[in-house]
Amino acid sequence: MATATGRDALTSRILPQMTLSKGDETSLTRPPAPASRFLKAQERAAKRFEVHGNAIVTGGAGTLGFAASKALLEHGLSGLMIFDLDPAQAEHEINELQREFPSSKISSKRVDITDGREVANAVSETASLLGSVDHLLCFAGVVGCQHAIDMTAAEWRRTLDINTTGSFLCAQACAKTMIQQGHGGSIIFVASISGHRVNFPQPQVAYNVSKSALLTLKNCLAAEWARYGIRCNSISPGYMDTILNEGEGIAEGRKIWAERNPMGRMGTPDELTGAVVFLLSNNATYINGTDLVVDGGQILF
């Protein structure tokens, strides 16, 4: 029997449709139980920003990912798995983290996030090691500053493959595990102010496109996966004071960034951790599909 091809196939296709949560007491998006009235005010305040369960942090050996990981452990995270292409670069720091938080299980794994099979295996192994995967933070990424007219196809694809496709593959693998577990979870994509505005003075079209794509990816997954109790949000950092923004070669750029920021400076890694803890905490159960810009006001102009 002949099958429809080309334009004829369009008239016989069946359109997939999203299923939204009912939001009732039987669903995974039901309202949280109220805090006990027997708790003291300080205890209620502490519980408001508690973080439960286990997290995977991609790019967790980097400055921003590591600072976020430590903050989550401070707020109650039970287990941490760091995915990185080179976790050995932070081996000493990871060991120190385990000594500081002896009751938490902390580990690292070398993972190429652009390899879907490798990601799926790493997430499965993490779930077995930690007992569950409840949170995902996508810090892994690359940046490159180059004039668009000179960019090669390979350079363009590499940036989008790591920043956008890699984040999707990690989110997809974690979501499958969260769905199997049956109690939901949360995902944070690390976008950028570069996904909202064109940077100045440096040209970086591939990076900007990859980060704006993450904002739309977050929106789509927040809509599709809410019925499973999975919240998807993003954070858009501004220029952060890390090794990526050091060196005399970009001194003029740093000067311009500071002059165009109402606060007159770059952010510190710790200034990003509040947004991370908030989005994964007990206080953010009704926040889904949101982007938090943490940039000192850089994109106001």
Q: Which of 294, 293, 295, 301 is CA-nearest to residue 260?
A: 301
Per-residue pLDDT averaged across 261-279, rounded?
Answer: 96
Per-residue pLDDT averaged across 205-234, rounded?
Answer: 98
Q: What is d(CA 98, CA 161) in angstroms, rounded to the nearest whole number?
A: 32
DSSP annotation of 33 reads P
Using 50, 70 and 90 to split pLDDT, how confident is the model at 48?
A: confident
According to the model, what pLDDT value does residue 1 have?
Answer: 45
Q: Where are the domains of the chain?
A: 41-296
Per-residue pLDDT averaged across 181-201, rounded?
Answer: 96
According to the model, what pLDDT value does residue 82 have?
Answer: 97
Q: What is d(CA 232, CA 230) in angstroms, rounded to the nearest whole number?
A: 7
User: Is pLDDT at 3 greater than 70 in this prediction?
Assistant: no
Per-residue CA distances from 129 to 55, 80, 99, 132, 286 (Å): 12, 10, 19, 8, 29
Which residues neighbour 22 within 8 Å (Cβ) at sequence distance 6 or greater? 29
| DSSP β-ladder status, 291-294 and 54-58 | unpaired
Q: What is d(CA 256, CA 264) in angstroms, rounded to the nearest whole number?
A: 10
Token digits of residue 179: 């769905």
Out of 207, 228, 239, 286, which one is annotated catalytic? 207
User: Is pLDDT at 2 greater than 90 in this prediction?
Assistant: no
Residue type, 138: C
Mean pLDDT computed over every residue of the chain: 93
Angle at 221 between CA 127 and CA 47, to 5 degrees: 60
User: Is pLDDT at 174 greater than 80 in this prediction?
Assistant: yes
Per-residue pLDDT averaged across 129-140, rounded?
Answer: 98
State which H helix or E strand residue 188 sits in.
strand 185-190
The reply to whether 207 belongs to the active site is yes
- Enter the pTM of the model: 0.92
According to the model, what pLDDT value does residue 242 have?
Answer: 82
According to the model, what pLDDT value does residue 5 have?
Answer: 65
Under CATH, domain 41-296 is a member of which superfamily? Answer: NAD(P)-binding Rossmann-like Domain (3.40.50.720)
Q: How far is CA 38 from its chain centroid?
A: 36
Query: Tell me: the pLDDT tens digits for 57-100?
Result: 999 999 999 999 999 999 999 999 999 999 888 899 999 999 99
DSSP code string of 50-118 = ---SEEEEETTTSHHHHHHHHHHHHTT--EEEEEES-GGGGHHHHHHHHHHSTTSEEEEEE--TT-HHH
Token digits of residue 235: 């954070």
Whether the CB-CB separation of 170 and 56 falls below 8 Å is answered with yes
Q: What is d(CA 164, CA 194) in angstroms, rounded to the nearest whole number?
A: 13
User: Dihedral, CA atoms, 131, 102, 51, 67, nearest 10 degrees?
Assistant: -110
Residue type, 9: A
